[in-house]
Amino acid sequence: MKVRETAIAGAILLFPDVLRDERGFFMETYHDRRYAEFGIDLTFRQDNRSLSSRGVLRGLHYQVAQPQGHLVMVLAGEIFDVGLDLRRGSPTFGQAMSMVLKADDFSQLWLPPGVAHGFCVLSETGEIHYKCSDLYAPGDEAGVLWNDPDLAIDWPIDSPVIAPRDQKLPRLRDVPENRLPTAPFR
């Protein structure tokens, strides 16, 4: 497996080994001991799968009291994926990072608990699978406005399709400290 650091402390991009032959391919999408070598040493508690159309933008979401780490993988298509570091004490607090994730290169992105997550779909459809380090907790959800000018995220779409609730999220500078994730930087 190849691993690359990202602009956010503790977030990494992974390229698992893929065995290919005339029949197709095989890969391990997760192996606890192998991933622990790269700092992903926790129990995943929930898996999610999402399908969205071109131009759909979801995020930037996080949970306050039950922060979730995400191991994101695209099963079909291509997405522009974003992480926003909200961990108190992190050297990259308040910084956003982005990258394109594609099904055909089998890349995975690890975002530690306390890093908000969002993405937009670049292909006709995008099917995403992500492992979460904690359970979804209704009422614990929070978010930051996707186009907060202070974050300077260069989204590659002009007219995204966005849920009404995501259009009303606050800018990061307007998020009260008690609404930031409880996951401190480690």
* Active-site residue identified among 35, 61, 70, 117: 61
* Active-site residue identified among 35, 62, 117, 130: 130
In the residue annotation, 31 being an active-site residue is answered as no
In the residue annotation, 35 being an active-site residue is answered as no
Distance separating alpha carbons of residues 148 and 85, to the nearest angstrom: 14
Residues recognised as catalytic: 61, 130
